Structure 1
Amino acid sequence: MEKTMSKRTYLATCLLPFMLFGCSSLGLQATADSAREVLPEQDGWAAAEGPVTGGALALEENVFTVSSRKAFVDALSQAGDEPKIIQIKGTINLSSDDDGQELTEEDYRVAPYNFEDYKNAYSPAVWNIKPLIKGRPNRNLDGPLEEARQASADAQKAQIVIHVPSNTTLIGLGDDATIEKGMLLLGDNVENVIIRNIAFEDAFDYFPAWDPGDSFKLDASYPGCQDTYVDASHGPQMCRGGRWNAEYDLISINGAKRIWIDHCTFSDGDRPDSMFPPVYPFPQNEITQKVQHHDGLIDITNQADLITISNSYFHDHDKAMLIGNSDKKTADTGHLRVTLHDNYFNNVGQRMPRVRYGQVHSYNNYFVGNAQGAGNGRNAYEAHLDSLANKPQHNVLRQALGAGKHSAIYSEANVFEIANGNASHAAGNMKGDVFFDTGSMFNGEMIDLLDAANAASGKPMSPDVGWKPELYGVNPAKPASDVVEYVKANAGAGKL
């Protein structure tokens, strides 16, 4: 861990005025190096209740350059909640020990867990034949294999989840700074964090859990599907449903507020979930029943608030971003205010973002994907057979902007290029009531996105979201015709 000399002249010039006005309002951010840049005034929801400065005011003893997990964790611990700048040099593997050796499944595994025995013990042919509970297989797995899986997961979690405290700037040096194989957690009571110019990859869960009741449905279109077991061809084991669920996001904003993420890149790295296909036979072999080792890219939950995500690249992943993680969390009302602008979503399947309760401003973002395999009006059984026949190699784009319960998404001048799709894949109704869009483009044509999405889905939403964005900072909305060129040139790590 190297300490880097801070700019005393910057501190002397900025400290007192910052207390009064914020550095960016004085035009000083352009003259400080990138590590001390702060969120521009009025740049999205993150700026709504005062400046986001991260570690801009760090004293010299709280400026670090780190290249390993140990140095990274030590720097966070040493500075605590004091302003701190942590510069990431090269690749930091969060699944590594203090000597820098990578830790893998065998290092975390607790006996008697092994995947094959776990898979067989809880297979639908074994587990689902038991009496259903409220119309689903029992979702609370029990027995020594599930206990060992959970203990193994706990061991991995203790190593790869890194807590980021308040008043922190994390910034990558050069164009190759990477944090991989773990998760940054910004928890409750954390605020004022800046994360820039870093590629985040492969928060790989070695011990995903099988949930037999996830998306389970008694669907008569599936031959043999019924609520009571009769024989190997008739019973709940012949119904659709069940999912593998992973634990880790690349960044989890879980209760934190006043966060700016800028010029970062997010992906599954070289271990995409497409490498881990379904392991059960029909009808539990639909594409969404792959063995999921990655969860979200960025998830924003549990009353997190005042967040701006800008100029970032999200690619080659299924579920990108959840804002609000439960229909039942009414306490999220009045929180989850998020701005996303000038971001690039490429070969992402869904949740760009999927929103509950929050007021989300999405503008000048670029979405590229392929909806072939999403069903497109057929019943679930026919869509399932089609996906098996066509074997899509892409992440199936199911919806880009997902309007969930009590969400209020304001979409503005976004660009959607969705092969084999329609406007309901751009704006999907996920139990939402309202959605607003203006000035967006779909497959090369200007479109009234709400009207088109309502017509395509048959589940109409109102445009009355109840608010109008005012926070654009130095990035007022561009016309959709200018978005693609700008986003391709600017989004992602290494382009700061």
Structure 2
Amino acid sequence: MMISIPLSIVMAAAVALTPSVPFPASDHAQGAPAARELGRQVLADGDGWASVDGGTTGGANAAPEDVHQVSTRDELAAAVAGNEPKIVYVQRDINAHTASDGTPIICEDYAVDGYSLAAYLAAFDPSHWTGPASGPLEDARKASSANQREQIRINVGANTTIVGAGDVQLTGFTLNIDRVDNVIVRNLQLSDAYDCFPGWNGDTWKTEWDNLVVSGSTHVWLDHLTLDDGGTADAEQPKYFGEPFLRHDGLLDVVRQSDLVTISWSRMAGHDKSLLWGNGDGVTADRGRLRVTLHHNELVDLGQRAPRVRFGQAHVYNNVYRVTDAGQYQYSWGVGVESSIIAQNNTFELAAGIPPARIIGTFGGTGIDEQGTWVNGRHLSVLDAYNSANPGAALAPDVQGTSGPHLPVEPAPAARERVDREAGSGVLR
């Protein structure tokens, strides 16, 4: 069976919280574009968790010879490597599944040791196989997956700024910010981190590859991004062994003791398991870390995890959530073990049939600080709605953590208008 990589992919009165700092310039960063090029801009003072302990500057101090313009996969991989200050401008759309000579790569080109989907399905059909896949064909799948990883995963070094030069798209990549400090990524569309080789674990299909991963890293600013599944909708994939053959894992994960992250003015759309912040319930090393600010983002048709938090302190404010498909929606705010989610002045536009109580999901957590939320044009307490619908699993209205530094928290309707105008990639010039 051939498997090809898809190439496409009321305003109303409300009271704002007391601002901690004045509004920054209209480009949401220190230094207006007329005075400083995008690659030299740094995160504004007070703009979320990534602004503490020295702030986030990325490659702003790069020497002229460490300012790169890239147009191919290999140029991108080389330019972002290493820990010296550097600025990388992505000049054009790039598809990860492209060889050095420009030849497109399809899934079969990664396959080794006799792997094929047809053979894999025949070998592990539950009619004669029980439990997770194992043996030579599973080993072949893992080796094939490793080949894909080598091609699509781009490892970003410390002290790096990556900026899209205009409206540009990276397709098929996993942008991997792993065990480094001081990284900025802005004005890029990251689409369709497509898994060629999902694995059978005995109950479901397990996929790899996130559009963007922050793992074991600190001081990361992600701004004016668009993250989506491109032309591949998991809801449209076939079922094998009675389970959906999914092609995507996470959209933007913050994991493995990462800390001091600000995610701003971005658009995330059309994904299921979207924003996972933290690892397993027993990973106590995450305590005191995973401090993340999520503000002024548009989140459209995210099925779940927007975000789901374990241990971390998440400040979620002035975001706009839009859900058009009641059948695919599960929840937005996942209250996990020892999590501290402070959700302020967010807007939800929910399709018919979705009650406000579904906005919150519980996964071992005990409380959420939620206020100022607007749902379908009116202000209401989502926490009260959740507790009324779930009397046996009621959550407290407070948390142990803090919001950290932040820019002014706007009334939700005002923030919605600004997000509609300004969020997403291709906006910065």
Same topology, TM > 0.5: yes
Equivalent in 389, 402, 423 of residue 334 of structure 2: 402
Letter matched to residue 227 of structure 2:
F
Offset, 1:494: 1.1
**Larger of the two Rg values belongs to structure:** 1
**Counterparts in 2 of 1:94-493, with a 5 A limit?**
94-128=96-130, 138-139=131-132, 141-175=133-167, 177-188=168-179, 190-212=180-202, 242-280=203-241, 284=242, 289-370=243-324, 372-373=326-327, 396-419=328-351, 420-458=353-391, 459-473=393-407, 476-493=408-425
Tell me which residue corresponds to 1:43: 47
Offset, 1:274: 2.6
Matched residue pairs, number? Answer: 398
C-alpha contact (below 8 Å) 2:301/2:325 kept by paired residues: no
Cα distance in 1 for residues equivalent to 2:90 and 2:178: 21
Q: Give per-residue Cα distances to partners, 1:49-80, cap 9 Å, x unaligned.
A: 11211010110000011010111122234xx2
Offset, 1:370: 4.2
Offset, 1:102: 2.1
Letter matched to residue 202 of structure 1:
D
Tell me which residue corresponds to 2:12: none
Cα distance in 2 for residues equivalent to 1:274 and 1:452: 29
Which structure 1 residue ranges, 4+ long, deviate > 4 Å from structure 2? Answer: 26-30
C-alpha contact (below 8 Å) 1:69/1:100 kept by paired residues: no
Cα distance in 1 for residues equivalent to 2:381 and 2:208: 37
Cα distance in 2 for residues equivalent to 1:313 and 1:72: 23
Tell me which residue corresponds to 1:231: none
SS across alignment from 2:358: helix
Matched, 1:87 2:89: yes
C-alpha contact (below 8 Å) 1:370/1:421 kept by paired residues: no
Offset, 1:203: 0.8
Letter matched to residue 411 of structure 1:
A
Letter matched to residue 169 of structure 1:
T
Give the unaligned 5+ runs of structure 1: 1-23, 129-137, 213-241, 374-395
Tell me which residue corresponds to 1:16: none
Offset, 1:307: 0.2
Cα distance in 2 for residues equivalent to 1:102 and 1:449: 48
Offset, 1:470: 4.3
C-alpha contact (below 8 Å) 1:178/1:198 kept by paired residues: yes
Matched, 1:62 2:23: no
Q: Give per-residue Cα distances to partners, 1:18-45, cap 9 Å, x unaligned.
A: xxxxxx9x96556211111100001001
Cα distance in 2 for residues equivalent to 1:40 and 1:29: 11
C-alpha contact (below 8 Å) 1:350/1:398 kept by paired residues: yes
C-alpha contact (below 8 Å) 1:63/1:84 kept by paired residues: yes
C-alpha contact (below 8 Å) 1:112/1:145 kept by paired residues: yes
Cα distance in 1 for residues equivalent to 2:337 and 2:55: 30
Offset, 1:276: 1.2
Offset, 1:314: 0.4
What is the TM-score normalised by the length of structure 1?
0.78
C-alpha contact (below 8 Å) 1:29/1:36 kept by paired residues: no
Letter matched to residue 277 of structure 1:
P
Cα distance in 1 for residues equivalent to 2:422 and 2:358: 25
Offset, 1:457: 3.2
SS across alignment from 1:64: strand
Task: Compare the two structures and name the one with the higher helix fraction.
Answer: 1
Q: 1:95 to 1:423 in 2, by over 3 A?
A: same
Cα distance in 1 for residues equivalent to 2:271 and 2:46: 31
Offset, 1:144: 1.8
Cα distance in 2 for residues equivalent to 1:202 and 1:210: 21
C-alpha contact (below 8 Å) 2:30/2:44 kept by paired residues: no
Q: Give per-residue Cα distances to partners, 1:319-371, cap 9 Å, x unaligned.
A: 11100121121111111100000000111111111111100000011111146
Q: CA RMSD in A?
A: 1.7
Q: Give per-residue Cα distances to partners, 1:66-107, cap 9 Å, x unaligned.
A: 010111122234xx2111000001112222221122221111
C-alpha contact (below 8 Å) 2:338/2:365 kept by paired residues: yes
Q: Give per-residue Cα distances to partners, 1:428-485, cap 9 Å, x unaligned.
A: 1122111110101122221111111122234211122023324123xx1111121322
Offset, 1:123: 2.6
